[in-house]
Structure 1
C-alpha cells in the first residue's frame, strides 16, 4: 500500500493539547510543539508532558498529515520508503502554517515557542524550525535531509540527542547533522547516550534541563 500524497489544505494538522483545552485557563507563558516519528501518532509522545513536569509550558502534540501505509492508525510526515521523500513539501507547508497559527490560539508568540520531535518528527522540527524565529529547537534520534543554509532568523539554541547504538537512524547521521548546523553558525548542544532508538529517562532529564 502506497502513501496517499494527494493535495491537502496547508493548515489541516490536528493536535493533542496539554493541558486539555477544556481545563481551566492556563497561566503558562511558553509553548512546546512536539512531532512524533514514522508510523506513530500524536498520542505516542503525549505522556511526556506530565513526565517532564514543566508548569510554565503549554504543549501541542501534532499528528502528521499522511496515513501510514502499513500501520493502522499510524501517521507519516512524508514517504521514508524512497529517496524522493514524497509529501515532504506538503508536510513542511502544513507544519509551518500550523506553527504560525498558534499565537492566535494560545497567545504565545514564536519567540516563546519550542519545536521538537522524535526520529522523523525530529527531522521535521529541524527542517521547519530553522526557518522560524523560535525560542528553542530539539531533535531526538533525528536527522537532516537537506543541506541547511544560514537563516537570518536562526537564533534559537538547538539540542540534538542520539543513541550510540541506534539501529534505525545511525548515530553518524546525528553527527553529520551537528556538523551541518555548526557550519551555518547555529548554537548546537549535542549529546550521545548508550541507547538505541528510544527516549529513556536519561534523555528526559537532559531535555528538561534544556527546556527549563
Structure 2
C-alpha cells in the first residue's frame, strides 16, 4: 500500500467535456504530494458521444438532472475517504465552467479543505444554506469569457462574501479557458491551505 497523499484534488469538467479534458493538467499543477481525481459527470451530453454533463443546460430542459447529480456527487465525495484514506478536511473540490458551478453548489455544504471555481457560476438559489463554517474559495475567470460572462463570477464572489466565505478572486485577460497563469494561482492557493 502506498503512502497516503497530503490531500486530494477532485476536478469536475465542464458541460460537454469529460474526465479526460482536465486530466492532462495534473502534471502542470506541480503538486506531487496531492492525488488528483477526475470524475465523469453522470449524464450523457446531448450533442456528442463522448461528452458528459452534470445537468442539462439547454433552454427547454434547463437544470434538469441537477438534484440527482448533486446527491450523487455528495455521496461519492463522502465515500472517497474509505477508498483513498484522505478525509474531506484534506480534499479540495475544483471545477471548470459547469464543473465550477457544481463545485460551489456541493462544496459549500461539505467540510472540505477548499474550493476552486474556474470560469464558473452560482446556480440559482445556491449558497442559501448557512453551515457554521465554509471552506475558503478561489474564483478565477476570464474578462473576455463569452460562455460564462464575467458578471457571473462577480455575482458569485459578492454572494459568497455576504455569507462570510473567505474568497480569493482573480480576473485574467482570457476567454473561457485555463491558462498557465491560472494554474500558478491555483497552486499557490492549494499550498497555502
Query: TM over 0.5, yes or no?
Result: yes
> Larger deviation: 106-115 or 143-152?
143-152
The number of residue pairs the alignment matches comes to 189
Matched position secondary structure for 1:175: helix
What does residue 108 of structure 2 align with? 130
CA RMSD of aligned residues (A): 1.2
CA-CA distance at 1:153 after TM superposition: 4.6
After superposition, the Cα gap between the structure-2 partners of 1:178 and 1:26, relative to the gap in structure 1 and judged at 3 Å, is: same
Distance 1:134 1:49 in 2: 20
Give me the whole-angstrom Cα distance separating, in 2, the residues matched to 1:153 and 1:65. 30
Q: What TM-score does the superposition give when structure 2 sets the normalisation length?
A: 0.94
Tell whether 2:28 aligns with 1:51.
yes
Which residue, 142, 166, 169 being the options, matches 2:145? 166
Between Structure 1 and Structure 2, the one with more helix by share is: 2
Unaligned runs of 5+ in 1: 1-23
* Ranges of 4+ aligned residues in structure 1 off by more than 3 Å: none
The equivalent residue for 1:176 is: 155
Distance 1:42 1:26, change over 3 A: farther
Map of 1:71 onto structure 2:
48
Correspondent of 1:99 among 73, 77, 82? 77
When normalised by structure 1's length, the TM-score is 0.86
Point out the more displaced range, 141-150 or 71-80: 141-150
Q: Secondary structure of the equivalent of 1:62?
A: coil
